[in-house]
Amino acid sequence: MTQSLLFDLYLVTGMVVLLLSVPGMVSAWAGGRVPVLPSVMVMVGGGLVIWALAQSATGYAPEDIPRAFANVVAYFLR
């Protein structure tokens, strides 16, 4: 696994975790509960995204995000 693919994996995993935390946040808010697990998911997902952005040599522009998703999916489908 190359270095750029590793950072793509961090970025994609972080974005997926952030996306999956949204229903839990909404559910906790609607039910009047404290969103403990969704909050942890936001911290982990945000940390992965920030790590990928900070450590990548070239950085990520908004148009690079679909390419990162495609690279990660292609790596696992090979």
- Residue 58 dihedral angles phi and psi, to the nearest 5°: -100, -15
Place of tokens 């270095």: 3
Average pLDDT over the chain reads 95
Going by the DSSP 8-state scheme, the letter that residue 58 receives in this structure is: S
Q: Are 42 and 63 in contact (CB under 8 A)?
A: no
pLDDT tens digits along 29-54: 999 999 999 999 999 999 999 999 99
